[in-house]
Chains A and B, each alone.
Chain A
Amino acid sequence: MFAFIVKRLLAGLLVLSTLVVSIFLLFWYGPRSPVQGLCEQRTNNRCTADFRAQLEENFGYNNPMLSELGKYVAGIFTGRDIQLGANTFVECSAPCLGLSYRTFVPAFDELVRRLPATISLAVGAAVIILLVGVTSGVLAARRRGTVADKALVSATLLMSSIPYVLFALLVYLYLNVINEVFPEAGYTPLTENPVAWLSGLLLPWLALGFYNSTQYTRFSRGAMIDALSEDYIRTARAKGLSSRTVTFKHGLRSALVPIVTIFGIDFAFLLAGTIFTEIIFGINGIGRWGLEAIQIEDFPVVQTTVLFGAIVVIVANIVVDILYGVLDPRVRIS
């Protein structure tokens, strides 16, 4: 088990370092001029070639690529001072992911500042996904083959056929703009005002949660049907346990293993990219930050958001792999 964890961590580290380098290269060689957006913004859209050249010089784009990559990677571990003008430096402490071209604040600091909004959104949605998805899946599995079961499965299929962006948009327009059924969506920090936090996130949670719960309904229904057809379930029934105990204590417990592992990955993707939800419901999280950065070609910020998303997914993959062994004794032995 220990060897497995070490191996898994090393593989994750390899993926991560490949990503850091390739994302750096993408933004180094990708755009024709990486500072074009910055230049336009500093000069009110009257960027001159001279000024752009000066900015390129200041931000190190005239230095060899490898030395700048070295500085970037070193900055992640030790932090560094970034030169802005001739004599102006900005201190960027570790982990330094560069400065935002718009605000000249270290991108990592801004990331941390916006993280609570995204985490609140993802956690709340995750609770709904699991509650609604697993409950309805278990209920459908217990009534397998009935009209209610079939209706539920077709309803989830139909719902997941609607593109999420349209679903969220219509939910927002109909339940928040036209009819003010729900309190106005938005994000208030939990520490500032818990009631506003809850009411502002209620509709985004419901939209994100219900939409994504559909696949969990189908998935947990399948897992539950598999679990309920095992021999030990028959044994449990034969020794006279109540149907409820059999379903929840014996059946659900083993059905939950695959659900939890898939959920780990999905939760990571929720954290990494709730862009549509954040934009439609006006939540100042990481996804919205990334989109705004793209519009003004604030490349260090874009780089940071992509890196953040990838790291979350990599970590989740490792955690899930390890957790799988812990949850399922059969995996641990083999």
Chain B
Amino acid sequence: MTLPQAEVQTQSTEPPGAPQSAPKAIAGKSPTRIAFDRLRRDWLAMASLLVVLVFAVIAVFAGAIANLFGVSLETPLASERINLISQLPLEGPPFGGFDPEHPFGVAPRVGTDNLAVWLYGARTSMIIAASAAVLSTVVGVIVGLLAGYLGGVVDRVLMFVTDLFLTIPFLLAALALAPILSDRFGTDPQRLGEIQFYSVIAVLTLFGWMTMARLIRGEVLSLREREFVQAARAIGVPTHRILRKEILPNLVAPIVVAFSLALPAYVAAEAGLSYLGIGVVDRPSWGQTVAGAVQWFDVYPQYLWQPVIGIVLLVIALNLLGDAIRDALDPKTRR
């Protein structure tokens, strides 16, 4: 019987400086190394990573890329670009051909450049998704660690809160909460847009940490009975140190997987919230463009398709990448 290759590699503990006499030297590889190697061999994962990286570059350098194409968010005067009666663009799509000044065309009625809006929209979507994913991961990991490790009353209270949040339908709650948040904190009308931006992130985080908390709690429940944790406890290591130094490093794989699968969910959720009109208002976002483009759809479908393609491509790439990372980190799957 032959063992699968990766297992041979993980189990080999060759002492440093051992004589390299064997015809085929077995190199010691860390589990992370193995995961990376598996990921690199997966062409679908690499393609998705490339797409995600392209979007990340777009998000970071949105301004520079917009300058490169010679477009900006500012509109000199809508009447220069818009037919005032039909409210549709004078040049470029939907009726004209390709307009080099505005590669994606201009928006109906307001006449802003679509490419610039699209680029900055990518930035908004990714910032919101990434912040919400990071924040909900932090909250979920802390709750899960405490509930799982401390047990008893702490566990019961935290799990009650988790279950409570799980019973609240996300969209209805977001609908109720987002306006309240912006009303409460948006006392300064000039900063209202900014407040709304943060309240979207807050709402996404508030209703997104529960799965992570449950996942981590389950892992911690089994980890805390392991010998190395008991040994640490026996020699009197303080609890916060056990959590940080003994347990947390063993949770990296599930955290990475859950995080990478949360990202696309937040991109989609942000688009959904914007479509319902409770998303960001002070800066362009894909969801906002989608919501605005629906009424122009019959004459100007390109206007709707631009953000749709952006969202769909990003979400699919992130999902595929997340799946691939999960497979790569899981020693049980072999492809």
Contact = CB atoms under 8 A, between A and B. Distances in A.
Given A157-B319, A166-B271, A306-B173, A30 B184 contact: yes
B167 A314 contact: yes
A287 interface: yes
A17 to B, nearest CB: 11
A31 B275 contact: no
Interface stretch (B71-79, B231-239, B307-315): B307-315
Contacts of B264: 161
A168 to B, nearest CB: 10
Interface string A234-278: 000000000000000000000000000000000001001101100
Contacts of A297: 179
Interface stretch (A62-70, A73-81, A288-296): A288-296
A330 B312 CA distance: 43
A26 B170 contact: no
A303 B320 CA distance: 38
Interface string A144-178: 00000000000001100111111001100100011
A41 to B, nearest CB: 15
Interface stretch (B16-24, B217-225, B241-249, B290-298): B290-298
A18 interface: yes
B180 A273 contact: no
Contacts of B294: 169, 173
Contact of B172 (A27, A162, A164, A272): A272
A302 interface: yes
A287 B172 contact: yes
A303 B179 CA distance: 13
A157 B171 CA distance: 23
A32 B172 contact: no
Contact of B316 (A36, A162, A309, A314): A162
Nearest to B317: A161
Contact of A15 (B164, B170, B277, B311): B164
Nearest to A36: B183
A166 B264 CA distance: 14
B316 A158 contact: yes
A294 B203 CA distance: 15
A177 B272 contact: no
A188 interface: no
B177 A26 contact: yes
Given A26-B176, A162-B312, A309-B172, A18 B184 contact: no
A166 B312 contact: yes
Contact of A310 (B169, B272, B275): B169
Interface string B294-335: 100110000010001001100110011001000000000000
Interface in B184-236: 184, 187
A157 B290 CA distance: 23
Given A161-B316, A287-B172, A313 B167 contact: yes
A275 B167 contact: no
A214 to B, nearest CB: 12
Contacts of B311: 163, 166
Interface centre among A14, A19, A269, A294 (most CB of B within 10 A): A294
A25 to B, nearest CB: 11
B278 interface: yes
B172 A305 contact: yes
B171 A306 contact: no
B163 interface: yes
B172 A30 contact: no
Interface in A170-194: 170, 173, 177-178
B268 interface: yes
B276 interface: yes
A317 interface: yes
B261 to A, nearest CB: 11
Interface in B262-290: 264, 267-268, 271-272, 275-278, 290
A279 interface: yes
Contact of B168 (A162, A165, A294, A310): A310
Contacts of B277: 291, 295
B287 to A, nearest CB: 8
A264 B169 CA distance: 15
A165 B180 contact: no
Interface string A294-324: 1101000011011001100110010000000
24 contacts: A15-B160, A26-B176, A26-B180, A27-B176, A27-B180, A30-B177, A162-B315, A164-B268, A166-B290, A169-B290, A178-B297, A275-B172, A276-B272, A290-B175, A294-B176, A294-B278, A297-B179, A302-B175, A305-B176, A306-B176, A309-B173, A310-B168, A313-B169, A314-B167
Q: Which A-B residue pairs are the 7 nearest by beta carbons?
A: A163-B268, A30-B180, A309-B169, A272-B169, A273-B169, A161-B316, A165-B272
Given A163-B267, A310-B167, 19 more contacts: A18-B164, A26-B176, A31-B180, A32-B183, A157-B323, A161-B319, A162-B315, A162-B316, A163-B312, A164-B272, A165-B271, A165-B290, A169-B275, A275-B171, A287-B172, A290-B172, A294-B175, A314-B167, A317-B167
